[in-house]
Structures are given as C-alpha cells and as structure tokens.
Amino acid sequence: MELRGKLLDVSNLKVSFYTYRGVVKALNGVELWMDSGERLGVVGETGCGKSVTSLAVMRLIEQPGEIQEGKIIFNGKNLVELSEEKMNNIRGVEMSMIFQEPRSSLNPVMKVGYQIGEAIAKSKKIKIKNTYPEVKDMLRLVGLDPERVINSYPHELSGGMSQRVMIGMGLATHPKLLIADEPTSALDVTIQAQILELLDELARKMGNAVMLITHDMGVVAEFCDKVLVMYAGNSVEYASTARLFEKPLHPYTGGLLQAVPRVGRTDELKAIKGTVPDLVNPPSGCRFHPRCPHAMDICKLERPPFVEIEPDHYVACYLFKGKNEVREDG
Amino acid sequence: MNFGQFLLRRLFLMIIVLFGVACIVFFIANVIPADPVGAILGGNAPPEAVDRLKAKLGYDQPLIIRFGNFITGAVRGDFGVSLKTSNPVMEDIKNYFPATMELALVAITISIILGITLGILSAVHRNKAIDQFSRIFSILGVSMPVFWIGLLLLLVFYFKLGWLPGSGRLGFFTYPPPRVTGMYLIDSIIAGQWDTFKEALLHILLPAFVLGYNATASIARITRASMLDVLRQDFIRTAKSKGLRKNVVIYRHALRNSLIPTVTIIGLVFGSLLEGAVLTETVFSWPGLGRYITTGMLFLDYPAVMGGTLYIALIYSIANLIVDILYALLDPRMRM
C-alpha cells in the first residue's frame, strides 16, 4: 500500500468503547497522515474523537476501549500489531505526548527533575540520577530556571510552568513526533501564546513533527501546515492550512469557520445547527447529514468515502466527486 | 509552617485529646452505681472498716478533689494502686502492656502486608479471581466478630489440626527470655534463644491474625479503592506515554499516591486493634493489658481500668501522630 504520509499514516482506524449504555463507536474509520517535521492540526467539536485518535496513535486506549480495525503505520511499523513491550520502546522515545491539564499530568509526589529524567533514562537505558545534566539543559531550553525547578514538586509550579515541564519531558528524548492534546486550553490567554511560541520554536530547532489537537481555529491558522477536520469519529476534510481557510469544501468545515470570531469581521457569526450526535446510535450514512444544509438522499444511506478532490485536498462528502469535479453549489 | 511547628501543634492537640479521655474515663468510673469498697470488704463488713477503707482509698473526698488527684497523678504517670493486685497500676501496666504491644504490632504488620498486597492485586486485576477472593475475604473480616473468628480458628488449627498452640505467649514449660522490652519475640532474639523465639512466634500467629483480620479487610478495601482512583489520574497516562512498563507505572507512580488514604486508615485501625485486644486476649488467654482491664472491670478495680484505658489512649494518640508524620513523608503537598 502506498503511504500518504512518510512519518505517520493512519487508515480506517476504528475504536469502540464498551459501556453500560452500549457500544460507543468513537472512531469510525479515521484517516490521517503526516510527513516528518510537519505540523498537523486536528480540529473538531468536543467529542468528535480528536483525543481518542491521538491516544490510539500512542496505543494508550484503555479498557473498556479497544482498537478494532485499521492501521497506524508509524516510521514503517504498524503500531496496531506491535506487542506492548515493543510499543513501550516507541512511546516516549520516538513519539511522545503532552496533555491538556499540565498540573494534573505531573505526578504530585515526585520531583519534576526526576519525572523528566525518567523519560531520558528509559530511552538511553541509563540511571535516572545520571540524566540530571541533560534534564537541566532541557529545563533551560523550555525557559525555566533549572536550579530552582529541578527539585520542585509539581504543586510548587504554575500551570504555564507545568506545561513547560511537560513539553521538556516530551521533547527530552528527541522524538520524531510530538502529540499535543489541547496543550493550551487550560491556561490563561497570555500564557497560551507563550506556550505555543515555545512549541513552535522548539519544533523548529529539533525538527520534530507536531500533531496539535485543538478546537481553536485561530491556533491552527498560526501554527499548523496542514489541517484535519474531524466530525463524530470521522475524518471529513484534510488540506493545507491556507487552502482550508481559503476554500473549505465540506459543509461542516464551512460551518466551523463561520463560527470563528475575528477582529474586523463584520458579518454575523453563525452557529452550526443541531448537536453532536450520540455515538452509541450514530446517524446512518454520513454522520453529519442530520445537521447538513445540503443533505441528499444518498447521505442518509451510505458513508461518503474520503477522497482527494484536488491535489492534497481530501473531503468525505457526496457533494464532491473525485479529482477536479468540484461542484459549485450544493 | 515548618516541621517543628507542625509537631508542636500536633503535640498540643494530643494533650487536649488525652485530657478529654481522662475526663470521660474518670466520670464514667465514678458514676457507675457500683461500690468497690463493698466489693472488697463484702456485704457484712462493719461500718468503721468501710469508712477506714474509703478514707484510705480517697473515696470520702468530694468528686472534684478526686478528679484533681487523678489528673495530677496521671500527669506523673501515677494511676494509684490496683485494688486487685495491690501493685501500683503503672507497675502492672509495665508488666502487661508489652504483651499487648507485641500482639498489636504483629497484628498490624500482618494486616499492612496482607491488606496492601490484596488491595493492589485486586485493583490491578479488577473483577478477576483475586479481586473476588479479596472481596469475600474482606466482607468476612469486617462482618465477623473477633471473638467468634478466634474460637473458630482455635477449633480448626489447635483442636482439629494441632498445627498451632492454643493459648498463652509460650508453652507451659518454657521460661520467658530475660526481660529487656517485655516483648518475647524481641527479647528472645536479644538473648539469642532461637527455640524460644520460634515458640513465641507460633503462639502469637493465631491471635495476631485474628486481631488483625478486621484491619486487614479495611486496609485491603481502602487500598483497592484508592489504587483504582489513582490509576485513572492524568499523571498515570503521562507515565504510560513515557513508555514505562506496567509494573513501573503501578509501583513507582501509582502506589505512593494510593497509599495516602491507606495510611489514614492504618492510624484508625490501630485504635480498633488496641480495642480488639481486650476480646482477643480473653479468647487466647493472652496476658496483656486488655485482659488486665477486663478482669479489672469484673473486680470493680477502678484505678486499673482508668489507668489502663488512659494508657491505651496515649498509645493510640502516639500512633496517630506517627501517621501524620508519615503523611508528610508520603505527600509533599502536606509539608506546606
């Protein structure tokens, strides 16, 4: 099979959670790919499966969840088939992850330096106490005072500082891919900008790819090369950031962009009608059809394939049929 | 607040608590409508003899004076003279308490090791066989009274199987080791008497297990619950995302966090352990403070009852102080 992304290529990824209410089909055939050093933004409403996708790529889906189908080709290896032991040699070494709540993501009873050292020690197979020179370098790199922070406990740090520590921990092993799951959502606005700048600067310096999970279109516009839009566990549109903002094709993407406030924008903000569907009983066919202003009969029956409409612009929608066949109107 | 201030504050609180216990113990002992003097002298004693003994024991004084005497005596470690043994109560406590302490320490050790192990295993293997076993084991432990389990185990292991001795701290023909701490297990090691050590160990196993069973159950349940809670936390996901092995995640990252509630429980169950000693010691004829208090009660030996109870309260407070210090060691957030 030809890979669309050299670093990471996720195809037909299906993840379900077995709950008392029934089977939650959280991911229903997600498509996603990245090249080395690229920044991909994954956007969508709360509950659309952004975080589950990132956890699935790390193979961190916990019971009662399960990857049911699909491939996650990372660096030439299909992660879905790897043993837990082999996966542990990739996690934290070749790919690492930072989370939304930096303060609760650090172990409250361990010193910060130790927690960073742990990641380095594991990838280099050395003792944790021998990693401290490197830990200090890393802390300096993320803009913290190593002497002060290395022996601090997490409760002695602010949210912004904790997220810097998390970033340092994530990048300490020089991974090829850093997954950032809403890294700024829990922080103050001014701190958000600093953290994004830091991520940007470090990714440039270290050359790692970044998968940025967010629901903030502004952040995507600032930071990402490519964007993947997700809806109810499906990939619905993928394009370069510029192209997506300029010419969104999927009705959902259009709706998302119209709901973003901007300085100087004079037209009215439009909300997308309806709510995110219940994933225990998702709508048939295209999961967006109950909310779609352009829904046709076929949308209720069959799931639209994720196809390339124009070079490097993929959409899952029956309004568009294959390459260069863009219909002007729904 | 630094550690010294923390310790001072806790010690101050401890004094208040002990004073409260002293009040309760004293007034309960003095409002019970039973007459120790009558109990000693018998119903037909001449009134002069009764008056003389009352004066000798201080019972002719008003309640408040007696309370003052009791408190000032207790502060100096003087609980008066036992009516039954005619020894100073403090001396009796010194003789009997090591046996209780030894029993309680072995019991708490068994329950901590067994309880925490069961708790971790049932959290990690949730709803599997080991979890179900631990659940049944714990429900039995919490719901069966101590004296009943004691009798049941005696029936099986002593009477039927004959694996373990039935009563006392040592066999009938064995001399106790030379007294250093009064705890036979420790004293026999100090004296190098390994046969005595083995015998003392065999004697203590059954009563210690019975005494600690309830505590084991509580510790296992709390550890399981808090371990499950900790395993759901964000920082556990972080640890996994670093590629740490499952055992490292559980024992290095989760365990210490999940032990914080367990330590609280250990402090509390240590209290119920001292309390349970009263029953366990009776079932196993264990010559400890619990039995001293029980027999004291039957003989209306109030100085013994009051002194023994207050002493147990003191030990309990010290145990809780140790728990608070352990807290600070486990959780850096407590050191603020």
C-beta of residue B207 within 8 angstroms of C-beta of residue B110? no
Q: What is the pLDDT of residue A79?
A: 95
**Chain A residues with at least one Cβ partner in B under 8 Å:** 58, 60, 84-85, 87-93, 96-97, 99, 101, 104-110, 118-119, 122-123, 153, 155, 166, 169
End-to-end CA distance of chain A: 33
Does residue B73 belong to any structural domain of this protein?
A: no
Query: B46: helix, coil or strand?
Result: coil
Please say whether the beta carbons of A55 and A179 come within 8 A: no
The SS3 call for residue B45 is coil
Residue B1, pLDDT above cutoff 60: no
Q: What angle do CA B91, B93, B98 make, to 5 degrees?
A: 115
Amino acid in the structure at residue B24: I
> 3-state DSSP call for residue B170?
coil
Distance CA A196, CA A204 (A): 12
Sheet with A307-310, strands from edge to edge, namely A95-98, A177-181, A209-213, A39-43, A226-231, A234-240, A313-315, A307-310
CB A228 within 8 A of CB A238: yes
Please check whether residue A199 is in contact with residue A183, taking contact to mean a CB–CB distance below 8 angstroms: yes
Q: Which amino acid is at A69?
A: E
The Cα–Cα gap between B93 and B282 comes to 17
Amino acid A327: pLDDT? 46
Residue B336's pLDDT is what? 57
Whole-angstrom distance, CA of residue A92 vs CA of residue B198 = 51
Sign of CA dihedral A182, A185, A187, A188: positive
B87-136 pLDDT, tens digit per residue, is 899 999 999 999 999 999 999 999 999 999 999 999 999 889 999 999 99
Three-class DSSP category at B88: strand
In a domain, B147, yes or no: yes
CA A229 – CA A302 distance, rounded (Å): 20
The identity of residue A219, as a single letter, is V
- By the 10 Å C-beta count (0-12 exposed, 13-18 middle, 19+ buried), B234 is classed as middle
Query: Are B241 and A155 within 8 A, CB to CB?
Result: no
Q: Does B324 lie at the interface with A, CB-CB under 8 angstroms?
A: no
Q: How far apart are CA B312 and CA B278, in angstroms?
A: 11
Rounded Cα–Cα distance for residues A174 and A134 (Å): 12
| Of B192 and A208, more confident | A208
- Out of B235, B245, B256, the one facing A105 most closely (by C-beta) is B235
Q: At B104, which amino acid appears?
A: A
Q: What are the φ and ψ backbone dihedral angles of A37, each rounded to 5 degrees?
A: 75, 0
Q: Looking up tokens 């990739």, which residue turns up?
A: A90
- Calculate how close chain A gets to B142, using CA atoms only, in Å: 30
Test A105 with B239 for CB contact under 8 angstroms. Answer: no
pLDDT in tens, chain A (330 residues): 578 889 999 999 999 999 988 899 999 999 999 999 999 999 998 889 999 999 999 999 988 899 999 999 999 999 999 999 999 999 999 999 999 899 999 999 999 999 999 999 988 889 998 999 999 999 999 999 999 999 999 999 999 999 999 999 999 999 999 999 999 888 888 899 999 999 999 999 999 999 999 988 888 998 999 999 999 999 999 999 999 999 999 999 998 888 877 777 777 878 888 888 888 889 999 999 999 989 899 999 999 999 999 899 999 999 987 554 444 443
Report the Cα B234 to chain-centroid distance in Å: 38
Q: Say if B280 falls within a structural domain.
A: yes
- Which of B265, B149, B257 is CA-nearest to residue B210? B149
User: Which residues does chain B have within 8 Å of residue A84's beta carbon, measured at their own beta carbons?
Assistant: 246
Confirm whether B303 is domain-assigned: no
- B38 within some domain: no
Spatial separation of the C-alpha atoms in residues B293 and B154, rounded to whole Å:
23
Whether chain A has a CB inside 8 Å of the CB on B251: the answer is no
Q: Contact B235/A118, CB-based, under 8 Å?
A: no
Of B234, B241, B245, the CB nearest to A96: B241
Cα dist. B158→A74, B94, B164, B172, B203 in Å? 64, 30, 5, 15, 11
Q: Which residues of B89-108 are buried (b: 16+ CB within 10 A; e: fewer)?
A: bbebbebbbbbbbbbbbbbb
Q: Kindly state whether residue B78 falls inside one of the protein's structural domains.
A: no
Q: In sequence order, what E strands does chain A have?
A: 8-19, 22-34, 39-43, 65-74, 77-78, 95-98, 177-181, 209-213, 226-231, 234-240, 307-310, 313-315
CA dihedral A285→A289→A294→A300, nearest 10 degrees, is 30
* pLDDT of B286 strictly over 80: yes
Q: Are the C-beta atoms of residues A13 and A27 closer than 8 Å to each other?
A: yes
DSSP labels, A186-213? TS-HHHHHHHHHHHHHHHHHH--EEEEE
Segment B256-284 mean pLDDT? 85
Domain covering A92-177+185-215: architecture: 3-Layer(aba) Sandwich (3.40)
Inform me whether the pLDDT recorded for B166 exceeds 50. Answer: yes
B330 and A CB contact within 8 Å: yes
Residue B77: DSSP 8-state: T
Q: How far apart are alpha carbons A297 and A291 in whole angstroms?
A: 14
Neighbouring residues of A153: CB distance < 8 A, sequence distance ≥ 6 = A108, A109, A110, A111, A112, B332, B333
Tell me if B234 and A101 make a contact (CB, 8 A cut-off): yes
Q: Is the pLDDT of residue B157 over 70?
A: yes
Q: Is B78 on the interface with A (CB under 8 A)?
A: no
User: Which residues 6+ apart lie within 8 Å of A234 measured at CB?
Assistant: A28, A29, A30, A49, A287, A303, A306, A316
A314: nearest Cα among A71, A37, A36, A33: A33
Predicted pLDDT of residue A77: 93
Neighbour-count burial for A62-88, b at 16+ CB within 10 Å, e otherwise: eeebebeebbbbbeeeebbebeeeebb
Which of A91, A101, A110 has the CB atom closest to B243's CB atom? A91
Query: Does residue B59 sit within a domain?
Result: no
Domain count, chain B: 1
**What's the whole-number mean pLDDT along residues B279-296?**
87
Residues 6 or more apart whose CB falls under 8 angstroms from that of A147 comprise: A136
Angle A40-A45-A50 from CA coordinates, rounded to 5°? 45
Residue B234 makes CB contacts below 8 A (sequence gap 6+) with A99, A101, A104, A105
Q: Is residue B238 part of a domain?
A: yes
- Name the residue range of residue B256's domain: 89-291
Residue of chain A minimizing CA distance to B248: A118
Q: What is the CATH number of the domain that holds B170?
A: 1.10.3720.10
Query: For residue range B21-74, what is the model confidence (pLDDT) as tens digits?
Result: 999 988 888 877 777 777 777 777 788 888 888 887 777 788 888 889 889 988
